[in-house]
Structure 1
């Protein structure tokens, strides 16, 4: 767990309004017995939960902030405070036996002071039986106990859980903060720039980089793109020989079509906005993209971009991935033949 100072710094950047709100709530002694922190991965749910833990148990609070140096703060940062109980998925799920452990802890008195705090990470991964088992505490809290349920997918939570907690929505991160989050996770700046247009999730971003899938996809797609913009028939062969084999899984197919759309959007953006370089998905090809867009008309760019944006919809209509890309290629040729 991060130190109090680190948590405050992170939250000030990610969710300053929520940090200020919980400072006020705790200062007024208005903390509810159960919250559901919901938002995209990396939006600050974990950091806020840990900040609340340090704030509640800190011995020397200074201006509404945990001092980070007292015995309680140090033990919390090291995950060793006896009155803070955390649960996370074992494998793919949080099982009923883990919730039984929580319920047993609920019934015990605090070891130090008179307060207990429970943090349940990835709460959407509770099995139905585990979630139902948790309901009794949420419905009938006893003592000075607070539960924080953290989720990146509120839609998977039982409605009965949602209705019995105070739901705190974590707004999505801005582009600059999301880029920092990706880079802090070890993702290279150029890859982070592309990923910004594909996902808000650090774990999904990292999955796309396994075995260099994303860099390979970008390289292969760029080869197809250069050919199709020239109306080169080899672009049709490129679909069959490289792109189809590159995206065997449905998730990869969707991402590849997102990348296709992003390429044409980059062209359109450069055509109408000379200052758009920092926002490009394919900024490594900026010079080539600029040269292309200088040779194309507004109408050509708009028509091509509209086709690229509809390709994903076709895939959702049960058209095969290969047919979607081949059809797109054939429709793009006549648009660019006079470029």
Structure 2
């Protein structure tokens, strides 16, 4: 399948309502001069911006949709069209020089037509200087120029930029779509089940999978939890022996506590509704069920509340090891 067909299929699967909306906007010639597309990674921001450019430049629009096969569509889908300029972070940020280049492009006439499109990926990664430099275009738009700013975190954008763009909040992927994307990445079913309860971002999951990190975390936290669930104080030793080596960054630590919360919640769900379809740990559920016979709903609820409090302690800058060791003792007592 050609790449341009892939873009069309992907954006229609991920954001069908926005595809229809922008098809009508373009047909009515009511496209705004600047948009801010906000939403998690992997939900179709880049594809939607590219699709809009294809629709604007397509030589063979059919049923208000780009054909995806003409020379214009192919060049846009491969980032080779001179009038569709894409800017991405240079390293960790989008720098002033990149925005200056963009502004110089704003002032030029379109090379092949009367329309120019600018797509700024990860716009929240603009340095303060770059963001302020971009404001002039946002405040004084050039004719026939449309900019698309894409962000995973709208709160990191300058309020002045937000106020001068049309903000479009993209809907998260529905579970079936997200699961299908993870399956395409050949991720194991047990990790998919857990990841679907942690995030809606394929990019985020792929980052967690680097160096087999997520698999190791699942294994370590599983052993720790099952020991604590059995009131076995060897779980206390597991914190230092197995988990701490995987918790090197604040982000790692927060995610590990999220997984701990999932385990505590899983035990409660299996007690109340064992047929729930959004379980996180199919490989460990039978072991958890075996330990539920002598546990009350109130104790399982108390354990879940303790896991939530552990996350709150992390937000108050209590050390991760202290938080998890204290939680281990409390869970062994509760269970």
Pairwise TM-score range, normalised by the shorter structure: over 0.9
- Residues 291-320 of structure 1, C-alpha deviations (whole Å, 9 max, x = no match): 222442222222222212221112222322
> Is 1:71 matched with 2:71?
yes
**Counterpart residue number, 2:207:** 207
> Is 1:286 matched with 2:290?
no
- Count of residues in Structure 1 that have an aligned counterpart in Structure 2: 334
> Is 1:198 matched with 2:201?
no
State the shift of 1:107 in Å.
1.1
Please identify, of 253-262 and 170-179, the stretch whose mean Cα deviation from structure 2 is larger.
Answer: 170-179
Please identify, of 305-314 and 30-39, the stretch whose mean Cα deviation from structure 2 is larger.
Answer: 305-314
- Conserved in 1, the CA contact under 8 Å of 2:228 and 2:331? yes
Please identify, of 12-21 and 290-299, the stretch whose mean Cα deviation from structure 2 is larger.
Answer: 290-299
- Conserved in 2, the CA contact under 8 Å of 1:224 and 1:239? yes
State the shift of 1:186 in Å.
4.5
Please identify, of 298-307 and 36-45, the stretch whose mean Cα deviation from structure 2 is larger.
Answer: 298-307
State the secondary structure of the residue aligned to 2:292: helix
> Is 1:119 matched with 2:119?
yes
> Is 1:324 matched with 2:323?
yes
| CA–CA separation in structure 1 for the residues paired with 2:214 and 2:294 | 29
Which residues of 2 match residues 157-306 of structure 1 at below 5 A?
Answer: 157-276=157-276, 278-306=277-305
- Residues 200-239 of structure 1, C-alpha deviations (whole Å, 9 max, x = no match): 3333322222222221121122222222122112122222
Unaligned stretches of 5+ residues in structure 2: none
| CA–CA separation in structure 2 for the residues paired with 1:191 and 1:125 | 30
- Residues 239-275 of structure 1, C-alpha deviations (whole Å, 9 max, x = no match): 2322233313221111111111101111111111132
RMSD, aligned α-carbons: 1.7
Please identify, of 64-73 and 4-13, the stretch whose mean Cα deviation from structure 2 is larger.
Answer: 4-13
State the shift of 1:118 in Å.
1.0
- Conserved in 2, the CA contact under 8 Å of 1:42 and 1:181? no
Please identify, of 310-319 and 44-53, the stretch whose mean Cα deviation from structure 2 is larger.
Answer: 310-319
State the shift of 1:171 in Å.
1.9
Alpha carbons of 1:38 and 1:191: their partners in 2 closer, same or farther (altered >3 Å)?
A: same
| CA–CA separation in structure 1 for the residues paired with 2:168 and 2:326 | 44
State the shift of 1:321 in Å.
1.6
Alpha carbons of 1:327 and 1:30: their partners in 2 closer, same or farther (altered >3 Å)?
A: same
Return the TM-score normalized by structure 1: 0.93
State the shift of 1:123 in Å.
0.9
State the shift of 1:162 in Å.
1.0
**Counterpart residue number, 1:36:** 36
Return the TM-score normalized by structure 2: 0.94
**Counterpart residue number, 1:45:** 45
| CA–CA separation in structure 1 for the residues paired with 2:321 and 2:100 | 49
State the shift of 1:178 in Å.
2.0
| CA–CA separation in structure 1 for the residues paired with 2:70 and 2:235 | 65
**Counterpart residue number, 2:309:** 310
Q: Which contiguous aligned blocks of 4+ residues in structure 1 show a shift greater than 6 angstroms?
A: none
State the secondary structure of the residue aligned to 2:251: helix
| CA–CA separation in structure 1 for the residues paired with 2:203 and 2:11 | 20
